Chain A
Amino acid sequence: MFDNLDFDVIRRSLPYLFLDGMSFTLMLTGLSALGGLIFGTLIALMRLSGYRLLGRVAGLYVDFMRSLPLVLVIFWFYFLVPYIGQWLTGASRPIRVGAFTSSLVTFIMFEAAYFSEIMRAGIQSISKGQPAAASALGLTYSQSMRYIVLPQAFRNMLPVLLTQTIVLFQDTSLVYVLSIPDFLGAASKVAQRDGRLVEMYLFAAAVYFVISCVASYGVRRLQARIAIVR
């Protein structure tokens, strides 16, 4: 069964897989999570702002993004980002956008919808007395959000946010559809070049599995620690 497999191909391509592929994946995951969290928090604040129109717009955005498959969204932004860039910079023709920028914009916009639901739950979990006390102390809305509500909401939701980031880490593999060399893309390139699909895909699966397992174990530990502190 394993007799005509050559696992040495993995050793030979390790530098390419990790220095190029995995660093792309991790960078994309990290920056998308950060951007998604920032935009997601803004969307959550819009939905809870009490201004009906603002809330409706934010709600529509979230529902819209959540009912589309990520693959379709990746294609959308891949073709749309050059035009958005043209519109923003006022250039005469659609601007050229690199693979990384394009996928980063995609994942930030897509994940913002998911992160905003988490942050909304987090903000709603804060008791009403907290913002009331803040405004009694003379804090403005933005001060009360910045110093009282958001830090607590973020902390309460940290395990869920991290779990969503693990999902995001796995989802970044979908940039494969644009032939971008992220970790899976790099593995697949080597696999096709050397005709070693079995070895490379098994290895890629193992790497994703180990990283996700370790990360979710870490999240469970964190959850237990946070639960004790409160």
Chain B
Amino acid sequence: MNYNWNWHIFFEPNPTGAGTYLDMLVAGLLLTIKTALLAWVIALIFGTIIGILRSLPSRTASWIGFCYVEFFRNMPLLVQLFLWFFVLPELLPRAAGLWLKQLPNAPFWTAAIGVGLFMSARVAVQLAAGIGSLPRGQKNAATALGLTTAQGYRYVLLPMAFRIILPPLTSEFLNTIKNTSVAITIGLIELTGQARAMQEFSFQVFEAFTAATVMYLAINIVVVTGMRFLERSLAIPGYITGK
């Protein structure tokens, strides 16, 4: 293989004039984490609302939930990001569209919101399944105790459901982190974007991508270890995963 390996490249100054190539990659890593965390918060909020709608006995509510999930699940994430980034500002009234286009950090906000909404459909499906897996007696008991529907969800159903679906939520969180890399197409220079930039500046393709790969693996290990700890401390006694 006639490829010139140069592992010292990471410590050489990068052409932007600020620090080394390694600094570039670390900046990308931090942006990936920041985007993924914001997206995950959005996914949890919207996913919870839609998941509850899907589990309600009302026909209209579950129909709205169904439409929401189908809308976000049946389009590629890349296309959804394009819709938010290129199409939405044009369809809004002129003033609002202009404001959106001139927003500083537009790729960051678009990526966080776009990935967040995309993932919220998946969170909703998991949560609805989690609520559905609870014995019917839980809801009945909540009603018998005089709790309203909202209170029943708040104090009985949701705390149980979230603890049950923690393992699938872990993998959805990992997917959120991975999906932020799609935002490279709307100009977000996160970890994959920085690796690509480093490859274009330095021509050290494989070193750049190896470093990015190692960083993604590290994020994965940290998240999986952290979530395993959380799962163990939140496991419901009496369930298979419980003590």
Seen from chain A, the residues whose Cβ lies within 8 Å of a Cβ on chain B are 1, 64, 67-72, 75-76, 79-80, 83, 86-87, 93-94, 170-171, 173-174, 176-177, 184, 188, 197-198, 201-202, 204-205, 208-209, 212-213, 216
Contacts and interface: CB of A to CB of B under 8 A. Distances in A.
Interface in B59-104: 70-71, 73-80, 82-83, 86-87, 90-91, 93
The 9 closest A-B pairs by CB, nearest first: A69-B181, A212-B74, A69-B178, A170-B76, A67-B220, A173-B76, A71-B181, A79-B205, A197-B86
Interface stretch (B39-47, B135-143, B209-217): B209-217
B1 interface: yes
Given A67-B216, A69-B178, A170-B76, A201 B82 contact: yes
Nearest to B220: A67
A34 B91 CA distance: 40
B78 A72 contact: no
B87 A202 contact: yes
Interface in B160-189: 174, 177-182, 184-185
Contacts of B70: 213
Given A173-B78, A177-B184, A198-B90, A75 B196 contact: yes
B195 A213 contact: no
Contacts of B109: none
Contacts of B71: 209
B120 interface: no
A198 B75 contact: no
B192 interface: yes
Interface in B194-243: 195-196, 199, 205-206, 209, 212-213, 216-217, 220
B3 A83 contact: yes
B185 A176 contact: yes
Provide the main secondary structure of the chain B interface.
Answer: helix
A69 to B, nearest CB: 4
A176 B192 contact: no
B40 to A, nearest CB: 15
Interface residues of B, number: 41
Contact of A213 (B74, B91, B174): B74
A197 B90 contact: yes
A68 B76 contact: no
Given A72-B195, A173-B78, A213-B74, A202 B209 contact: no
Contacts of B77: 170
A176 B76 CA distance: 12
Contacts of B80: 205
Contacts of A76: 209, 213
Given A68-B178, A72-B209, A93 B87 contact: no
B76 A184 contact: yes
Contacts of B86: 197-198, 201
Contacts of A72: 181, 192, 195, 209, 212-213, 216
A26 B26 CA distance: 37
A79 B209 contact: yes
B58 interface: no
A171 B76 contact: yes
23 contacts: A64-B217, A68-B213, A69-B192, A71-B182, A72-B195, A75-B192, A75-B209, A76-B213, A79-B209, A94-B2, A173-B79, A176-B78, A184-B78, A201-B82, A201-B83, A202-B87, A204-B79, A205-B75, A205-B79, A205-B80, A205-B83, A208-B74, A209-B71
Given A170-B75, A174-B182, 18 more contacts: A67-B174, A67-B216, A68-B178, A69-B179, A69-B180, A69-B182, A71-B181, A75-B209, A76-B209, A79-B199, A83-B3, A93-B2, A174-B78, A198-B86, A198-B87, A198-B91, A205-B82, A209-B75
A184 B90 CA distance: 20
Nearest to A170: B76
B125 to A, nearest CB: 12
A213 B75 CA distance: 9
